[in-house]
Amino acid sequence: MMSAVTKHEIAKMIDHSLLHPTMDDETLKEGIELARKYNVASVCIKPYAVKMAADLLKGSDVMVGTVIGFPHGNSKVEVKVFEAEKALEDGAVEIDMVVNSGKVLSGDWDYVDAEIGAIAAVTKKQGAALKVIFENDFLPEDSYKIKLCGICNKHKVEFVKTSTGYGFVKQSDGSYNYKGATLHDLELMRRHADPEVQVKAAGGVRSLEDTLKVRELGVTRIGATATETILMAIRDKNT
């Protein structure tokens, strides 16, 4: 399986994640340089650092992405629109937006539809990609995810995405954790998203084995902090 895929192909699946709250500016710069070194698809960086990332990645093939309404999706639609516009102005070309989980769980589909549509209008106007984060750990039934896929199909978004990686849910032992990108959810999302809507797996993809597994399901992008670990595991002399 490993011989059938190149390091370049795997690198171009990776959005190198630089979102942890404790990452200081020096850590962000190191992450951006790592992304450039391995020529990944993009960096997904904290919104205030978009301009810095765009400047440091100038002349490379690594795109700049950022997050909107992150991580809980509770901002008003107008605020998310402003965030998206500002991020694109600063140099982002990919936007990962968190849906309003409370509205999803309320079954207020008109609100959810209008929110996704509002952000999609911004990204399409600027020729940017929109990734809609479902935060599947918050959604107890597949029906919510299927409905979200349908709305994303309607607005012709570029990606549907499983998780933020920060959607912690109280477990039976009292601890807080998340499942992230499960194979079940990835299969479900690939099945219900239109063929031209790509699927991004985020949360829990930490190894080359994980990456190859989700790739087989039709996933074309992953969010990863373990970028170097994943790519160093490939022994491909042709890249």
Residue-averaged pLDDT of the chain: 95
pLDDT tens digits, 87-100: 999 999 999 999 99
> For this structure, is 15 an active site residue?
no
Please report which confidence band the pLDDT of residue 237 belongs to, taking 50, 70 and 90 as the band edges.
very low
Q: Are 189 and 145 in contact (CB under 8 A)?
A: yes
Residue 94: CB atoms within 10 Å: 24
Paired sense of beta strands 63-68 and 94-98, if any: parallel
SS (H, E, C) 57-103: CCCCCCEEEEEECCCCCCCCHHHHHHHHHHHHHHCCCEEEEECCHHH
Q: 172 vs 136, which has greater pLDDT?
A: 136
Cβ-proximal residues to 64 (8 Å cutoff; 6+ apart), any chain: 42, 43, 45, 50, 53, 54, 57, 91, 92, 93, 94
Which residues is 42 bridged to in the sheet?
15, 63
% of the chain beyond a pLDDT of 70: 97
Is 96 one of the annotated active-site residues of the chain?
Answer: yes
Q: Which amino acid is at 66?
A: T
Residue 108 backbone class (left: φ over 0; alpha: ψ -120 to 50; beta: rest): beta
Joined tokens for residue 105: 């769980």
- Give the pLDDT of residue 3: 52
Ranges of H-type helices in the chain: 7-11, 25-38, 50-56, 77-90, 101-106, 109-126, 142-154, 183-192, 208-216, 227-232
How sure is the predictor about 171, in pLDDT bands with cuts at 50, 70 and 90?
A: confident
161 catalytically annotated: yes
First and final CA of the chain: distance in angstroms? Answer: 17
Neighbours of 233 (CB within 10 A): 16
Q: CA–CA separation, 238 vs 82, rounded Å?
A: 44
Q: Quick check: 61 pLDDT over 60? A: yes
pLDDT digits (tens, 9 = 90+) for 19-49: 999 999 999 999 999 999 999 999 999 999 9
Give the model's pLDDT for residue 1.
Answer: 44
Residue ranges per domain, the chain? 2-232
Task: Report which DSSP code applies to 137.
Answer: G
The catalytic residue among 7, 131, 161, 185 is 161
Q: Please tell me which residue in 15, 90, 96, 185 is annotated as part of the active site.
A: 96
Neighbours of 30 (CB within 10 A): 13
Q: pLDDT of 182-202, one tens digit each?
A: 999 999 999 999 999 999 999
> Which one is catalytic: 7, 80, 147, 200?
200
What homologous superfamily is domain 2-232 in, according to CATH?
Aldolase class I (3.20.20.70)
pLDDT band at 4 (very low <50, low <70, confident <90, very high): confident
Our CA angle for 150, 151, 155, nearest 5°, is: 115
